[in-house]
């Protein structure tokens, strides 16, 4: 049989192979270059693959840098990084993160365009991961889309989620919450209970209530909230630790009565999620306090090994506690100090407290540029600006560059968010514009929407003598006392005047204005007391602020009134020139049997150095008792403390320095007793708070101390003169050359030098008057 390996075909193949070897060629390359093009194409493909791989690696690194800045809320820096990412290579989830970053900085218009495309992809093509529908709705809510467009997208997203699946139901509830937020923002007032009932969901399902309980309470459904928590308490056989924050906030008496509260979560870095609730409830129960200390101690001792995100969360928690020195001590354990906002916030407040206002301004400005929606830092900048020689309305100029982040849909420019614009206008002396800017407040808009022309929202009073008017006492008690200077005028304009008031003022007001009906209503202030201690069912239907101001008893009174308005609108009419102030002198009175009889001929001076609330930014506007030391050695005067909520150290100082104390009156609750002491004084010196406002209303000459921009500019039309535009019978004391860029102690010293100069004139005049007699 012939050898097949020696066939002509195989011999030719062997010969070809030997020629390749002789020529030094690989077996894959032809002699005549017949495969060159194919090889070149293969090489190009390999090179292209390597380039794509390198580009993907670069894009991944860029996205990691973006994520790092984004997670630390450095949205401005993160958005600049994001602009360098190939957007189309991102996953849907990553695209949504980038869009939120754009809305959180200044790229909202670009984000709207990109979001439009994502909406089409998700709604028309569908996605398996239902969490993406929640993320989409979150972006839609903060976008610049119209309300109708937002509502349509949310409606379509809800259709894509099944309530049959427990997991999908949770996502559906999240979308429901976002839909409610949208409607509440659009309508200024939306009842969460009615909203849920209209959706046909189980309003007793705690998966749903976890999101809606705060809104229910804020809207005025206090009874519903308490009943649900009591039911939960009975079902659980005690405090449900997953809802500890609700029990602490809305049912504290149940927390207090617990013999023992057990916690079943492991203490690790994820325990940081429980820290705010534990902190809020630590004073209610020893077990909560012990668990708070345990969690805080773990985070403090293990800070170095926490994730960067949890390090940031812990430092932000310390910012709320104003533990600035502690934050700085942790700074060397943070990987990128220059990217940590809490560290810059702490540096800013430490610098501010050390009178280094330029450093403070720069630290705060750095933070708010990165995160324009940080309202607390915006307040800090507002304090810093006049202390570096800049006008207070510079905050408006800054907003023209950075906007408000998600609050403003990523657009630049000053808008009506919070009281920032109002305060800058008021402190600049633009009282009419400043007050009118508050007409955008949601609670007043909700009343306007319901009552129409009958409700006056920073509008001119219609002085119709046949009408009856219902006046809501708003703001604080000191503001209420100031506003009462116009009550006599109102009673001359209207057939009937009904005014709500703090219960502690009822006796004084009825004695001073017998023709006016006063309705005692305890107002809820978050920083003062828990709502459960307030009497009366709160008025629902108009949002949290109105529920805090009014009880259900006021509804019929408003419904039967021709005109409804509020205290600050009365001041607005005064600034317009439509409402005159009374002549200098007393506009409030106190029964004779309440008046305190002072002995001696010396000038009786009452001093007040602070409010009873000492927290956060408020402390900047107050003094210490020791600041009054320059007045204590002036002959011919007798100093009395009119400080309410005085603490033990302050009492001890007063006794050592022979400052008289009012010991037989509860100055926080017995306003008539306090008024009896105030009326007999010759002069009041201090800062604005209830005792000094009440004394001024009783006709006592009052000197407000203008040692800070906040105390000075607001009352003097931006520093025009010493005439107090707010408090009758009051002057604002500060030297004409006052420079607030000086250290705080220098400003205080200069103000008290001016006080001493004026007191010398007054005491000498007093002596001369006595001699003439």
Domain definitions of the chain by residue range:
4-53, 438-576, 592-772
The confidence band for 335, taking pLDDT boundaries of 50, 70 and 90, is confident
- Do 300 and 306 touch, CB atoms closer than 8 A? no
Fold agreement (438-576, 592-772): yes
Pick the closest to residue 188 from 229, 147, 233 (CA basis). 147
Residue 12 has pLDDT above 70, yes or no: no
* Mean pLDDT over the full length of the chain: 90
Q: In this predicted structure, what is the pLDDT of residue 644?
A: 94
Note the pLDDT of residue 33: 53
Query: Would you state the pLDDT for residue 616?
Result: 65
Main-chain phi, psi angles of 395, to 5 degrees: -65, -30
Average pLDDT of the segment spanning 622-642: 96
How far is the C-alpha of 528 from the C-alpha of 548, rounded, in Å? 12
Phi, psi of 611, deg, nearest 5: -85, 175
* Neighbouring-strand partners of residue 607: 641, 685
3-class state of residue 581 by DSSP: coil
3-state secondary structure labels for all residues of 173-230: HHHHHHHHHHHHHHHCCCCHHHHHHHHCCCCCCHHHHHHHHHHHHHHCCHHHHHHHHH
* Residue 529's pLDDT band (cuts 50, 70, 90): very low
At 22-65, the pLDDT tens digits run 444 444 444 445 556 666 666 667 767 677 778 788 889 999 99
Local confidence band at 230 (pLDDT 50, 70, 90 cut-offs): very high
435-480 pLDDT per residue, tens: 999 999 989 999 999 999 999 999 999 888 889 999 999 989 999 9
Confidence of residue 4 (pLDDT cuts 50, 70, 90): low
| CATH class belonging to 438-576 | alpha beta
Q: Please, are residues 612 and 741 in contact by the beta-carbon 8 Å criterion?
A: no
The average pLDDT across 670-676 equals 97
Q: How confident is the model at residue 617 (pLDDT cuts 50, 70, 90)?
A: low
Q: How far apart are CA 529 and CA 126, in angstroms?
A: 49
Question: Dihedral of CA 103/106/112/118: which sign?
Answer: negative
Q: Quick check: 396 pLDDT over 80?
A: yes
At 429-438, the pLDDT tens digits run: 999 999 999 9
Return d(Cα 565, Cα 533) in angstroms, integer: 27
Question: From its phi and psi, is residue 154 left (phi > 0), alpha (psi between -120 and 50) or beta?
Answer: alpha
Q: How far is CA 128 from its chain centroid?
A: 37
CB atoms within 10 A of CB 162: 12
Judge contact between 474 and 567, C-beta under 8 A.
yes
Give the rounded percent of residues in the chain with a pLDDT score beyond 70: 91
Segment 235-241 shows an average pLDDT of 84
Q: Pick from 79, 156, 93: which is nearest to 124 by CA?
A: 156
pLDDT band, residue 519 (cuts 50/70/90): very high
Rounded Cα distance, 267 and 290, in Å: 12
Sheet holding 517-520, edge to edge: 517-520, 496-501, 468-472, 563-566
Instruction: Show Cβ contacts of residue 429 under 8 Å, excluding neighbours closer than 6 positions.
Output: 713, 716, 717, 718, 719, 720
The 8-class DSSP code of residue 497 comes to E
β partners of residue 583: none
Lowest mean pLDDT among 65-69, 229-233, 541-545: 541-545
| Residue 19 pLDDT level (bands cut at 50, 70, 90) | very low
pLDDT band at 744 (very low <50, low <70, confident <90, very high): very high
Question: If you ran DSSP here, which 8-state letter would residue 273 be given?
Answer: G
Q: What is the pLDDT of residue 9?
A: 54
The stretch 275-295 carries a mean pLDDT of: 95
84-98, 121-135, 202-216, 282-296 — which is least confidently predicted?
121-135
With a CB cutoff of 8 Å and minimum separation 6, the contacts of 769 are none
Give the model's pLDDT for residue 660: 97
What is the per-residue pLDDT across 761-773, written as a single tens digit (0 to 9) for each? 998 876 555 545 5
Indicate the DSSP class of residue 660.
Answer: B
Task: Indicate if the pLDDT at residue 2 is higher than 80.
Answer: no
Evaluated on CA atoms 515, 519, 524, 527, the torsion sign reads: positive
Could you read off the pLDDT of 137-192 as tens digits, one per residue? 999 999 999 999 999 999 999 999 988 888 899 999 999 999 999 999 888 778 99
345 pLDDT more than 80: yes
Contact 451, 558 (CB under 8 A): yes
Residue with tokens 């906030």: 249
**What 8-state DSSP symbol labels residue 338?**
G
Instruction: Count the alpha carbons within 13 Å of 191 in the hemisphere toward its beta carbon.
Output: 13
Pairwise CA distance, residues 80 & 98, whole Å? 11
pLDDT at 76 over 50: yes
Tell me which residue has tokens 């402190």. Answer: 427
More confident residue, 501 or 24: 501
In contact, 175 and 157? CB cutoff 8 Å = yes
Beta-carbon contacts of 564 under 8 Å, excluding residues fewer than 6 positions away, are 447, 451, 454, 455, 456, 469, 470, 472, 558
Q: Which CATH number fits domain 592-772: 3.40.50.150, 3.40.50.2000, 2.40.50.140, 3.40.190.10?
A: 3.40.50.2000
Q: How confident is the model at residue 3 (pLDDT cuts 50, 70, 90)?
A: low
- Indicate the pLDDT class of residue 217, thresholds 50, 70 and 90: confident
């Amino acid at each position: 049989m012939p050898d097949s390996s020696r066939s002509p075909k195989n011999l030719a193949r062997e010969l070809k192979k030997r020629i390749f070897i002789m020529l030094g060629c690989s077996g894959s390359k032809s002699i005549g270059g017949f495969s060159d093009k194919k090889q070149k194409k293969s090489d190009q493909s390999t090179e292209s693959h390597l380039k794509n791989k390198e580009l993907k690696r670069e894009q991944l690194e860029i996205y990691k840098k973006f994520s790092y800045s984004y997670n630390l809320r450095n949205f401005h820096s993160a958005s600049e990084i994001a602009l360098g990412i190939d957007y189309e290579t991102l996953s849907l989830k990553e695209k949504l993160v980038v869009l939120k970053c754009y809305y959180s900085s200044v790229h909202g218009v670009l984000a709207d365009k990109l979001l439009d495309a994502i909406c089409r992809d998700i709604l028309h093509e569908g996605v398996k991961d239902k969490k993406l529908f929640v993320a989409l709705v979150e972006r839609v809510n903060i976008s610049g889309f119209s309300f109708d467009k937002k509502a349509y997208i949310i409606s379509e997203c809800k259709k894509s989620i099944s309530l049959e699946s427990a997991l999908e139901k949770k996502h559906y509830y999240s979308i429901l919450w976002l839909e409610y937020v949208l409607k509440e923002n659009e309508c200024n007032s939306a009842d969460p209970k009615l909203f849920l009932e209209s959706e046909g969901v189980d309003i007793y399902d705690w998966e749903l209530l976890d999101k809606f309980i705060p809104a229910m309470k804020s809207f005025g459904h206090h009874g519903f909230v308490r009943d649900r928590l009591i039911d939960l308490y009975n079902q659980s056989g005690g405090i449900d630790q997953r809802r500890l924050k609700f029990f602490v906030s809305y049912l504290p008496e149940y927390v207090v009565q617990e013999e023992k509260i057990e916690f079943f979560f492991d203490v690790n870095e994820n325990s940081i999620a429980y820290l705010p609730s534990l902190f809020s409830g630590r004073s209610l129960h020893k077990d909560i306090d012990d668990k708070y200390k345990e969690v805080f101690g773990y985070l403090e001792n293990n800070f170095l090994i926490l994730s960067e995100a949890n390090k940031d969360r812990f430092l932000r928690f310390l910012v709320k506690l104003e533990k600035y020195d502690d934050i700085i001590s942790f700074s060397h354990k943070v990987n990128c100090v220059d990217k940590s906002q809490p560290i810059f916030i702490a540096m800013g407040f430490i610098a501010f407290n050390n009178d280094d206002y330029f450093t403070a301004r720069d630290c705060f400005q750095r933070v708010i540029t990165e995160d324009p929606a940080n309202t607390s830092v915006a307040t800090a900048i507002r304090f810093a600006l006049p202390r570096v020689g800049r006008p207070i309305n510079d905050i408006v100029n800054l907003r023209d560059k950075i906007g408000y982040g998600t609050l403003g849909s990523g657009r630049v420019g000053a808008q009506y968010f919070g009281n920032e614009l109002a305060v800058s206008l008021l402190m600049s002396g633009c009282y009419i514009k400043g007050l009118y800017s508050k007409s955008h407040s949601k609670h007043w808009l909700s009343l306007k929407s319901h009552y129409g022309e009958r409700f006056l929202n920073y509008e001119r009073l219609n002085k119709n003598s046949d009408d009856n008017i219902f006046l809501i006492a708003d703001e604080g008690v000191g503001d209420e006392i100031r506003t009462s200077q116009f009550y006599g005028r109102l009673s001359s304009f209207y057939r009937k005047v009904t005014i709500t008031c703090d219960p502690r003022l009822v006796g004084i007001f009825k004695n001073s204005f017998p023709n006016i009906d006063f309705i005692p209503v305890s107002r809820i202030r978050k920083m003062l007391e828990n709502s459960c201690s307030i009497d009366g069912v709160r008025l629902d239907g108009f949002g949290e602020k109105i529920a805090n101001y009014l009880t259900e008893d006021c509804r019929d009174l408003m419904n039967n009134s021709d005109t409804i308005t509020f205290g600050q609108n009365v001041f607005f009419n005064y600034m317009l020139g439509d409402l005159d102030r009374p002549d200098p002198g007393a506009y409030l009175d106190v029964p004779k049997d309440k008046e305190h009889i002072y002995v001696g001929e010396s000038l009786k001076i009452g001093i007040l150095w602070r409010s009873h609330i000492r927290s956060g930014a408020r402390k900047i506007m107050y003094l210490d008792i020791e600041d009054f030391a320059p007045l204590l050695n002036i002959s011919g005067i007798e100093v009395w403390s009119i400080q309410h909520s005085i603490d033990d150290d302050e009492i001890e100082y007063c006794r050592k320095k022979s400052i008289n104390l009012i010991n037989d009156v509860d100055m926080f609750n017995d306003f008539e007793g306090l008024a009896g002491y105030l009326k007999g004084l010759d002069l009041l010196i201090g800062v604005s708070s209830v005792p000094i406002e009440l004394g001024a209303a009783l006709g006592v000459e009052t000197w407000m101390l203008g040692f800070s921009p906040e105390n000075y500019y607001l009352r003097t039309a931006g520093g025009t003169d010493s005439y107090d535009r707010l408090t009758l019978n009051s002057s604002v004391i500060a030297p004409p050359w006052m420079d607030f860029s000086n250290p705080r102690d220098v400003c205080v010293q200069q103000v008290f030098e001016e006080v001493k100069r004026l007191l010398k004139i007054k005491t000498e005049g007093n002596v001369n008057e006595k001699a003439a007699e």
